[in-house]
Amino acid sequence: MTDRHRVASVEELAEEGSRVISEVAGQEVAVFRVKGELHALANYCVHQAGPLCEGPLTGRISAEEDGSLRYDETESVVRCPWHGWRFDVETGDSLQSDRWTTPTYDVEVEDGEVYVSR
């Protein structure tokens, strides 16, 4: 059974890259605005229980067979401040391995307020 919880006003999450962390039914949850959309993740690193969502938002580095090493500046990755594990804010998935995913939650906006379902 999930309930809807107000976590912020839309104004607080208006800017790209903004975030609000609040407690939702006993779990710290972060809401980010990334690529214009709102996404909610547990503020919990599945590695060693660090405060994942207090880490920086970053872009991502990729390498190709031709030897290129590119940086995608779109800041849609959150990097845990403890050990640097990286997760895609849009999916909660680890960038490095399909073994790990951060819990994500549905986000809704209604009458200028942001709600997380948990």
Residue 66 lies near other proteins (rule: CB under 8 A) = no
Nearer to other proteins, 24 or 45 (CB): 45
Q: Does 95 bind other proteins (CB under 8 A)?
A: yes
CB atoms within 10 A of CB 102: 23
Q: Which stretch binds other proteins (CB under 8 A): 2-10, 33-41, 93-101, 106-114?
A: 93-101
Q: Is 98 in the site for other proteins (CB under 8 A)?
A: yes
Task: Examine residue 49 and tell whether it contacts other proteins (CB under 8 A).
Answer: no
Tokens in use for 90?
């849009």
Alpha carbon distance, N-terminus to C-terminus of the chain: 8
Question: Contacting other proteins (CB under 8 A), which of 2, 3, 61, 74?
Answer: 61
* Other residues' Cβ atoms within 10 Å of the Cβ of residue 65: 5
Structure tokens at 46: 């599945």
Q: Is the Cβ–Cβ distance between 9 and 113 less than 8 Å? A: yes
* 48 lines the binding site for other proteins (CB under 8 A): no
Q: Does 4 interact with other proteins (rule: CB under 8 A)?
A: no
